[in-house]
């Protein structure tokens, strides 16, 4: 047990474990010290100088985010000296920041803007050099604006934590800036599109490449039949963009809100999460029985797939051949649904609402192109609803449209780390043993970086592992290659915590991100929905039964492979 340290912060007695930073100690007594470069579990470098405080025993002001507490220390967080220093730091940052607040996506939700207002800053006190760097528009999923960057390095820390390292500081002194090696574009770099840099950025220097205008055009085109479908995790996060508590399930209101935008149908992507499980569980059992390539990795996360293609091409045969639920739904709509409803696929405009930016990249993969016409993030959907004057919180709950409405709880928990694994285990176990009653697999739940378990079903031991965050995926791959670990089935999600913490989710103020356990709260909403669903296994969904009966015949059939499966290709850029 750590030794306890007694100190005072703004004359308030505080007792915290030894090694605690002043910033953390202050938050324990609800004193918020401003920060720009600090982000809990991501970045802590003390470079922005916004958290400077006065502390006994220190020479001058110290950075609260990195300075440890000491016995008997007295800290003052809001003296005139502190405030003056912070204001000067902000005005220096503003001198080389493109001040386009009226047309910036982060307006009203920008940490630099908020602090500048709070400290009554003069944005023109210091005159900087003209800002004239071109936007990096090379990637179909993210836009980088160097002239809005404040060099806080949070995006760099997030990318490094993902074991990707696509961006970093370039140059020295006044000319230092964030970019990719040799000033290459993001698309030329090793970026996998996870978007964790976007949610880490405190300003508008990084944002998703929006396709909202394309959606508005399609909605206004009488020749187009527009359909929306929403990913499992969106219902647990969209409410945050409308000031609802983290983890509020707004499924019914979300459907009602999207319907008021004017599409012909609003469908539930949980359906193709169920379909993914049917295909994936069947593929896993076929590999086990036929001594195929093992272990098998999930392939529903496009950032993870791109990571493998770039960094570990020798592991491509281990990826499931299943498409992601997004691309399965696009393929299902433009084949089965169009045929059934007499619709020309060219007249159908498919919009997916997704929690991550890598799904935007996925739509542009040659083997997927044309299945989903526009992928918009949770943030983009929120902006569309606000532009249309739709008040989500005041709407009644409405249900998804048939025939893609009724899903299993297994499809819903896809949005949380371990959810894909648990949903697959529910079905695979029943396929092996028709009398297998267990539907809850708590060992693979939770936000631990890596989880592992072994299940014995019908005399077969199935060794599984779950990892979220690409650095943890890297650990598992290293352990597999060295022979340190052996598994049969592995779930990987690129974003820490899974899709609930995706790069396209609502951008929350630092005060919330640094205090709330977003991953757990958001995941809890999905597991609660699963618990209340009478259908717990994907195989129990009447929609899935109908789809196979009317179109695919059986999981892993030839027709299923044509529409629901794909191939992956090595990318030698590393």
Tokens of 103: 């047309």
In tens, the pLDDT along 72-81 reads 999 999 999 9
Contact 467, 450 (CB under 8 A): yes
Asked if pLDDT for residue 543 goes beyond 90, the answer is: yes
Contact 150, 112 (CB under 8 A): yes
The pairing of strands 4-9 and 12-17 is antiparallel
In tens, the pLDDT along 162-195 reads 999 999 999 988 889 999 999 999 999 999 999 9
Asked if pLDDT for residue 354 goes beyond 90, the answer is: yes
What pLDDT, on a 0 to 100 scale, did the predictor assign at position 1? Answer: 67
Contact 150, 202 (CB under 8 A): yes
pLDDT band for 237, please (50, 70, 90 cuts).
very high
Over residues 243-267, the mean pLDDT reads 98
Contact 283, 544 (CB under 8 A): no
In tens, the pLDDT along 381-437 reads 999 999 999 999 999 999 999 999 999 999 999 999 999 999 999 999 999 888 888
Asked if pLDDT for residue 574 goes beyond 70, the answer is: no
Round to whole Å and give the CA distance between 145 and 231: 28
pLDDT band for 2, please (50, 70, 90 cuts).
confident
| Residue 535 backbone dihedrals phi, psi, to 5 degrees | -100, 110
SS3 annotation, 454-499: EEEECCEEEEEEEEECHHHHHHHHHHHHHCCCCCCEEEEECCCCCH
Asked if pLDDT for residue 572 goes beyond 80, the answer is: no
pLDDT band for 368, please (50, 70, 90 cuts).
confident
Residue reference for tokens 């393929």 = 331
pLDDT band for 538, please (50, 70, 90 cuts).
very high
What pLDDT, on a 0 to 100 scale, did the predictor assign at position 475? Answer: 98
Beta bridge partners of 354: 377
Round to whole Å and give the CA distance between 121 and 551: 63
The pairing of strands 348-354 and 374-377 is parallel
In tens, the pLDDT along 15-50 reads 999 999 999 999 999 999 999 999 998 999 889 999
pTM: 0.95
Planar angle of CA 14, 19, 21, nearest 5 degrees: 65
On average, the pLDDT of the chain sits at 95
User: What is the CATH architecture of 4-78?
Assistant: Roll (3.10)
Tokens of 473: 């995926």
Q: Which fold has domain 102-208?
A: Alpha-Beta Plaits (3.30.70)
Contact 136, 158 (CB under 8 A): no
Q: Which fold has domain 223-564?
A: Rossmann fold (3.40.50)
Tell me the CB-side half-sphere exposure of residue 218, using CA atoms within 13 A: 21
In tens, the pLDDT along 500-535 reads 999 999 999 999 999 999 999 999 999 999 999 999
Catalytic residue IDs = 280, 283, 300, 320, 359, 362, 367, 499
High-pLDDT (> 90) share of the chain, %: 92
DSSP SS3 for 160: helix
pLDDT band for 288, please (50, 70, 90 cuts).
very high
What pLDDT, on a 0 to 100 scale, did the predictor assign at position 573? Answer: 57
In tens, the pLDDT along 53-65 reads 999 988 899 999 9
Over residues 338-348, the mean pLDDT reads 97
- Cα separation values, 15 from 1, 69, 522, 529, Å: 14, 10, 31, 39
**What is the radius of gyration, based on Cα positions, of the chain?**
25
Tokens of 261: 């935008």
Round to whole Å and give the CA distance between 213 and 374: 10
The pairing of strands 168-170 and 177-179 is antiparallel
- What ranges do the domains of the chain cover? 4-78, 102-208, 223-564
What pLDDT, on a 0 to 100 scale, did the predictor assign at position 152? Answer: 95
């Amino acid at each position: 047990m750590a030794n306890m340290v007694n100190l005072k912060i703004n004359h308030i007695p505080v007792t915290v474990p030894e090694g605690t930073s002043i910033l953390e100690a202050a938050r324990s007594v609800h004193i918020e010290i401003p920060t720009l470069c600090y982000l809990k579990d991501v970045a802590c470098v003390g470079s922005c100088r916004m958290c400077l405080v006065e502390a006994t025993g220190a020479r001058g002001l110290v950075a609260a985010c990195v300075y440890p507490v000491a016995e008997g220390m007295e800290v003052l967080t809001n003296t005139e000296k502190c405030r003056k220093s912070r204001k000067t730091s902000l005005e220096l940052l503003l001198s080389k920041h493109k001040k386009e607040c009226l047309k910036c996506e982060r307006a009203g939700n920008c940490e630099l803007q908020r602090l500048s207002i709070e400290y009554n800053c003069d944005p023109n006190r210091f005159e900087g050099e003209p800002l004239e760097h071109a936007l990096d528009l090379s990637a179909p999923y993210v836009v980088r604006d160097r002239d809005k960057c404040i060099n806080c390095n949070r995006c760099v820390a997030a990318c490094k934590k993902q074991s990707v390292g696509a961006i970093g500081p370039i140059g020295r002194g006044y000319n230092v800036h964030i970019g990719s090696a040799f000033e290459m574009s993001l698309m030329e770099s090793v970026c996998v599109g996870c978007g964790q840099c976007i949610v880490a950025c405190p300003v508008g220097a990084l944002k998703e490449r929006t396709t909202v205008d394309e959606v508005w055009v399609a909605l206004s085109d009488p020749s187009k039949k527009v359909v929306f479908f929403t990913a499992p995790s969106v219902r647990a996060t969209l409410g945050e963009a409308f000031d609802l508590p983290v983890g509020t399930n707004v499924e019914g209101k979300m459907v009602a809100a999207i319907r008021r935008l004017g599409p012909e149908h609003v469908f539930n992507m949980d359906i193709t999460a169920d379909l993914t499980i049917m295909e994936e569980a069947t593929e896993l059992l076929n590999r086990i029985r036929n001594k195929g390539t093992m272990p098998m990795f999930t392939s529903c996360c496009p950032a993870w797939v791109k990571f493998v293609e770039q960094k570990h091409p020798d592991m491509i045969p281990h990826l499931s051949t299943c498409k992601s639920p997004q691309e399965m739904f696009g393929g299902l709509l433009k084949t089965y649904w169009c045929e059934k409803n007499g619709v020309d696929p060219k007249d159908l405009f498919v919009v997916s609402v997704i929690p991550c930016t890598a799904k935007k990249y996925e739509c542009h993969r040659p083997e997927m192109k044309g299945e989903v016409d526009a992928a918009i993030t949770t943030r983009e959907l929120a902006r569309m609803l606000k532009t249309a004057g739709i008040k989500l919180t005041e709407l009644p709950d409405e249900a998804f449209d048939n025939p893609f409405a009724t899903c299993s709880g297994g499809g819903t928990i896809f949005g949380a780390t371990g959810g894909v694994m648990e949903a697959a285990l529910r079905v695979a176990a029943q396929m092996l043993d028709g009398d297998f009653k267990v539907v809850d697999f708590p060992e693979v739940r939770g936000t631990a970086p890596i989880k592992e378990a072994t299940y014995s079903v019908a005399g077969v031991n199935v060794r599984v592992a779950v990892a979220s965050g690409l650095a943890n995926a890297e650990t598992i791959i290293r352990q597999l290659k060295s022979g340190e670990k052996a598994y049969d089935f592995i779930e990987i999600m690129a974003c820490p915590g899974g899709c609930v913490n995706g790069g396209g989710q609502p951008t929350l103020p630092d005060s919330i991100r640094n205090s709330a356990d977003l991953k757990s709260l958001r995941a809890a909403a999905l597991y609660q929905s699963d618990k209340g669903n009478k259908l717990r296994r994907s195989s129990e969904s009447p929609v899935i039964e109908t789809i196979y009966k009317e179109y695919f015949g059986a999981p892993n059939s030839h027709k299923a492979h044509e529409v629901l499966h794909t191939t992956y290709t090595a990318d030698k850029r590393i």
